[in-house]
Amino acid sequence: MRLRVAFAVLLALMSSTSWAADLPAAFTNDARILFQGDSITHGGRGLNQADHNHIIGHSYVFLIAGRFGADHPEQNLTFINRGISGETVPRLEKRWQADTLDLKPDLLSVLIGVNDNAVNVPLEQYEQTYDRLLTDAKTANPKLKLVLGEPFTLESRKPADPAVWQKWKDGVDQRREVVASLAKKHGAALVKYQPMFDKACERAPAAYWIWDGVHPTYAGNQLMADEWLRTVRDFWKN
């Protein structure tokens, strides 16, 4: 009987107001959680760090920061966004010290590759430079938790030239393979955004999730936040 009551209470809780979330084990006390990447991560954030109004941007980073910042203030988590629009791995390398190592993250999440694909950074350079950045980050903090996001794309509109689209898509797939291999090498959690977005297209058209082939909508950003969290929970079960 008491079980029945508890069951009813649980059901009421689940169908009620909150969309609160349990703390992932990876979000330890006082953790500094840093997101690096390109425009997808950037999300229009202001670059003036003194202006706290625009410090986090409107990407999946804000969705994660807001949820866990609100639900677990006692953890004293700090979420930091350092995504920059248009960023490639070679460009990221130039600010790696100031914008990653100097910020002393406990968890570092990186999502980069679509611009490297767009401007044809050679695949080998992409891999070697990215590899070096991750090695440097782990050298600076051997206990660093690493999260790597797969580059992704969707055919949001019928392409003008299918051959151009296919070349672009193949290029993104190649970068994905590199990222998967780097994740394995560095013991990083790998967020598989591409199959997630592919699957979402069974629920709504591609443009509902990614409006221009590259940049997620508000709904697409939430999918990213959810998949990021799912991956982090799975990886660091503790």
Contact set with its own copies (CB under 8 A): 3-4, 6-7, 10-11, 13-22, 39, 43-46, 52-58, 62-63, 65-67, 69-71, 73-74, 79, 200, 203-204, 208, 211-212, 215, 217-223, 225-226, 229-230, 233-234
Residue labelled with tokens 């760090």: 49
- CA proximity to 64, closest of 96, 41, 87: 41
Kindly state the smallest distance separating residue 198's Cβ from its own copies, in Å: 15
Tell the smallest beta-carbon distance from residue 129 to its own copies (Å): 26
| 8 A C-beta contact, residue 56 and residue 46 | no
In the complex with its own copies, the residue whose CB is nearer, 28 or 222, is 222
Residue pair 137/93 in contact by the 8 Å Cβ criterion: no
To the nearest whole angstrom, how small is the minimum distance from the Cβ of residue 83 to its own copies?
12
Q: What's the min distance (Å) between Cβ of 204 and its own copies?
A: 4
Q: Which is nearer to its own copies, 165 or 211 (CB)?
A: 211
Nearer to its own copies, 131 or 226 (CB): 226
How many Å is the maximal CA-CA distance in the chain? Answer: 66
Nearest to 37 by CA among 76, 78, 77, 95: 95
Q: Which is nearer to its own copies, 24 or 151 (CB)?
A: 24
- Tell me which residue of 112, 203, 191, 209 sits closest to 155, measured CA to CA: 209
